[in-house]
Amino acid sequence: MKIIIGNDHGAVNLKKQIIKHLETKGFECENIGVDTEDSVDYPDIAKIACEKYIAGGYDYGILCCGTGIGISISANKVDGIRCALPQDSFASHATRAHNNPNFIAFGGRIEYKDKIEDMLDSFFDTEFEGGRHQIRVDKIMAIEK
């Protein structure tokens, strides 16, 4: 699986942790985020990552900022992107099963009750259920039009 990952200065260490975990699982990660804590604007990172994803060649995207909130809001402004912001492993599983997001976001300054690695595994190990959930995803995507 090929993942595009972007982050701002509030999630440098988290991004490194995510890449390390995914690479041990055989994923290929393209890092378009920053590697220092020098201030950058998360909407710019989200836009670059989403545009690269939409252009093709990636299975999913991951975005990280201090809380995950701003970067996920930014991503969700891009046509064709559904970015989820799970709080725990259950939410990671449920969003994948029911919302079929193509991006997932996390906060580098958030203390999650579950390990990030477990949340990622829950997300990537879950299949989209389709059916009534596809109808809802279609309605979400129709809002963009």
- Give residue-wise pLDDT tens across range 53-72: 999 999 999 999 999 999 99
Q: Residues forming the annotated binding site for D-ribulose 5-phosphate? A: 8-9, 66-70, 99, 109, 132, 136
d(CA 46, CA 63): 7
Mean pLDDT score, 85-92: 98
Instruction: Give the active site residue among 29, 50, 64, 65.
Output: 65
d(CA 101, CA 60): 8
Mean pLDDT score, 2-19: 98
Total number of domains constituting the chain = 1
Our answer to whether residue 29 is catalytic in this structure is: no
Our answer to whether residue 65 is catalytic in this structure is: yes
Triad 108, 125, 65: Cα angle to 5°: 15
Domain that holds residue 50: 2-142
Token pair for residue 128?
Answer: 């989209």
Evaluate if residue 25 carries a pLDDT over 90: yes
**What's 130's domain CATH number?**
3.40.1400.10
Q: What is the pLDDT of residue 44?
A: 98
Instruction: Give the active site residue among 29, 50, 83, 98.
Output: 98
Enter the pTM of the model. 0.97
The answer to whether the beta carbons of residues 45 and 33 sit under 8 Å apart is: yes
Residues 6+ apart with CB under 8 A from 126: 92, 93, 96, 97
Other Cβ atoms within 10 Å of 14 Cβ, number: 22
The answer to whether the beta carbons of residues 14 and 108 sit under 8 Å apart is: yes
Mean pLDDT score, 9-17: 98
pLDDT band at 145 (very low <50, low <70, confident <90, very high): confident
